[in-house]
Each structure stands twice: as structure tokens, then as C-alpha cells.
Amino acid sequence: MTDRKLELKSDFIKFALSSNVLRFGEFKTKAGRLSPYFFNAGLFNTGESLRELGNFYARAILESGVSFDMLYGPAYKGIPLSAATAIGLANRGVDTPFAFNRKEAKDHGEGGTTIGAPVSGRVLVIDDVVSAGTSVRESVDIISASGASVCGIVVCLDRQEKGTGERSAIQEIEEDLQIKVISMFNLSDLVNFLEQKNDLKQDLEKIKAYRLQYGVDV
């Protein structure tokens, strides 16, 4: 991993902590597990934090080298994320069209299931996290129905956590759908970050124990 990628991961974790988006404690996940950490991208809820978030997405995309023609944000969280990312890319000289979907198709006015630029070419999906992968598969169906193709997915966090089987939702997507997932940071990155922080050793040990119990092979 390059120094720039390591710096991006560290910078983003610091940003998430300072924004109180990444927190430590005891939190119940959708799977009913008690997690020692919690990440809620919905708390990037000010103009400044959303601007910074868009810049982080843009950095991650350009650093990854992925080739794309447009951005797509799955409703609902993906809507502001894709818009912020488009702005972040424009600030770096990459003017990129973006679109997002409606939860229900509109049968009047402009109609259709998507809003924004026409969905075409190589589409990069922008989301916060991947839980069960359901929204990703819905996005793939919508994008494919438009005659376009998904070239990758960008998320804030890869929990590297087992789903219903031995694979994580992201591993299932990458292996079953053959789609690359780019994450700002993952659980291993968080462990590496906390190992450098003496004041967070208690949280580190809890996260290591959680990873041992629920983590996937990487």
C-alpha cells in the first residue's frame, strides 16, 4: 500500500472521530451483535463536514485509479454523498455527471426511476457502508436496465465482518458480481490506527476481540 493511501485512511479516520461519526462503546448491529464501535455517516450533517466528506471520496476515487464515466447514489444516503463527491471531483478538475434513484417510480413530469444525468457508460456507485448488499444489487439492476454497467462501488467503511456465511457482504459483491469495492478504511485499518493511540488501548482490545469472533479472512 502506498504512503498516500495510508495517509488517506489515517486522515479519514481522524475526520470521522472528530465529527463523532465514528464512536466507541457498545452498539447493537442489525445482525444483533454487540459491536465495540459504530459508524454513522448520517452524522456528516453540516455543510462543512459534507464538503470535507466529498473531498475524501474524491481523493479515494482518484487514488484508486478506477475508470468511470459518472456517479450514482442509491437513495437515500447515497443522494447527498454522490452530489458531494461530484463537487469534490470538480474541485480537482474532474467534472463528473451524477444521478440518483427514486424509491418509487414517478409516472408524471419527467417520470422514471432516476434523477440527474442520464445513466450511461461506466457507473461508479457512491454509498456509505455495505451491510447485507441488498441496495447494491438494487443499484446494479437499475443501472443495468439503463444499458450502463457498474464499474465499482465506493464506501466509507468496510467492516470486514461475516454476514450469514463465512464471507462479508463486500466479499460477496466482489466475488459474485465481479465488482470492485473501494473503501475509505476497513476494520484492519482501524486496528492499525488505534495501535498508535495509547489513550484508546481499551477500545483497541475490544475491537480485536470482536474481529476475532466475527471478522472474515482477508
User: Which range of residues forms the domain containing residue 22?
Assistant: 3-214
Comparing 1-5, 24-28, 101-105, the range with the smallest average pLDDT is 101-105
At 177-187, the pLDDT tens digits run 999 999 999 99
pLDDT, position 131: 74
**60 and 154 Cβ atoms separated by less than 8 Å:** yes
| Residues identified as active-site | 106, 108
Q: Which residue has the higher pLDDT, 8 or 164?
A: 8
Q: How many domains, the chain?
A: 1
Residue 109 has pLDDT above 60, yes or no: no
Q: What is the DSSP string of 50-114?
A: HHHHHHHHHHHHHHHT---SEEEE-TTTHHHHHHHHHHHHHTTT----EEEEEEEEE-STT-EEE
The CATH number of residue 136's host domain is 3.40.50.2020
Q: Identify which of 64-78, 123-137, 155-169 has the greatest average pLDDT.
A: 64-78
Strand pairing partners for 39?
22
